[in-house]
Amino acid sequence: MEFARLLLVSLVMAVAPLIGFIISFYTREELDQGKGYLVMVQRLLLLILAMALILRGTEVYFSAIIIVSMIFFYFIDSVLLFMSFATLLFTSTFYGALFNYASMFLFLYLVFYGLLSYQKKLKGILLSGGVLLATTLALCVVWQMAF
């Protein structure tokens, strides 16, 4: 059951940047004016996600590694950020309610990512969603093979 739920959520997460990218076509003028606010909300969502990791009873080392990797990959604007999101989604399935929090905040973050990517090409948006989905699938397959 958890395997199917994780795959469904990761599929929705992979489509989230595309949803934001499509919305950005209709709101270009507003995005130019409010880009600073969107960046602030995006950073706030990462902070809330980090606080949920710390407060929901996960292992300290796990939380520290995921938070440091998210912050590092956010500032270098790398596709590896989406790999750390996939790792977070996969491992949060073991912590119950954290999975719900993580999936909600990650979905919002990815929609905002798509909104802010209106000047980029569609190829980059599809790559980020594909990396998230492929990493989650790979982690699921490895976990299923291990047990």
Triad 96, 133, 94: Cα angle to 5°: 15
| pLDDT digit string, tens, across residues 24-52 | 888 888 888 888 898 899 889 988 888 88
Asked, for residue 147, whether it belongs to a domain, the answer is no
pTM: 0.88
Asked, for residue 113, whether it belongs to a domain, the answer is yes
User: Which residues are CB-contacts of 27 (< 8 A; sequence separation ≥ 6)?
Assistant: 115
**Res 1 pLDDT > 70:** no
User: Which residues are CB-contacts of 22 (< 8 A; sequence separation ≥ 6)?
Assistant: 114
Enclosing domain of residue 36: 2-141
Domains identified in the chain, total number: 1
Asked, for residue 146, whether it belongs to a domain, the answer is no
Asked, for residue 95, whether it belongs to a domain, the answer is yes
Q: How far is CA 95 from the centre of its chain?
A: 17
| pLDDT digit string, tens, across residues 68-82 | 888 888 888 778 888
**Res 108 pLDDT > 90:** yes
Share of the chain residues as helix, strand and coil, in percent rounded to the nearest 5 = 90, 0, 10
Asked, for residue 109, whether it belongs to a domain, the answer is yes
